[in-house]
């Protein structure tokens, strides 16, 4: 599925959170398997990522329809998208019902980054990954612009 509500929520242990409605097919899969993966699409896959959010996996084989490749994780019971440049494999450590959504907190057990998306030190390069970002205000997808400055330094006087 395509997730709009999510983000980093802890650095030790490294965790990410996602929030989704109980009515979704993915909700049942996550509850059953206690795992999920975050497949971060690059800008070139924005259309496919949007399609994943428009149709239900109960009715449509999204991988077949988009031509993308499902890859079985060796660490968690959830597939990921083979073509996407960054993958986070997560085991659920908590979940909480919050209004219409349930928030799942997943501990990251592995990160996969395509070699072409690495920086000079072997870490992820956001400019090379070119992730799709969703804006809930205008309901549009955006790419990442250039650097605005080094974190924890640009605010110093």
Q: How do residues 105-120 score in pLDDT, each as one tens digit?
A: 999 999 999 999 999 9
Distance CA 87, CA 76 (A): 12
CB within 8 Å of 60: residues ≥ 6 apart: none
What are the sequence ranges of the domains in the chain? Answer: 5-142
Interval 4-16: pLDDT, tens: 888 999 999 999 9
Mean pLDDT value across the chain: 94
pLDDT tens readout for residues 27-52? 999 999 999 999 999 999 999 999 99
First to last CA, the chain: 44
Q: Residue 79's closest CA among 101, 94, 61?
A: 61
In CATH terms, 5-142 corresponds, of 1.10.10.1800, 2.40.30.10, 3.90.1150.10, 2.30.110.10, to 2.30.110.10
What does pTM read for this prediction?
Answer: 0.91
The residues that bridge with 124 in the sheet, in sequence order, are 118
Residues 6+ apart with CB under 8 A from 114: 85, 86
């Amino acid at each position: 599925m395509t997730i709009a509500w999510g983000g980093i929520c802890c650095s030790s242990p490294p965790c990410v959170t996602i929030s989704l409605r109980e009515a979704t097919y993915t909700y049942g899969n996550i509850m059953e398997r206690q795992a999920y993966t975050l497949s971060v699409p690059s800008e070139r896959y924005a259309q496919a990522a949007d399609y994943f959010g428009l149709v239900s996996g109960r009715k449509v084989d999204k991988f077949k329809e988009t031509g993308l490749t499902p890859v079985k994780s060796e660490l968690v019971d959830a597939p990921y998208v083979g073509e996407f440049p960054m993958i986070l494999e997560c085991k659920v450590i908590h979940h909480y019902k919050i209004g219409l959504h349930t928030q799942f907190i997943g501990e990251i057990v592995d990160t996969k980054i395509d070699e072409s998306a690495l920086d000079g030190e072997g870490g992820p390069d956001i400019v090379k990954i070119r992730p799709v970002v969703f804006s809930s205000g205008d309901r549009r997808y955006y790419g990442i612009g250039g650097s605005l400055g080094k974190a924890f330094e640009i605010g110093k006087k």
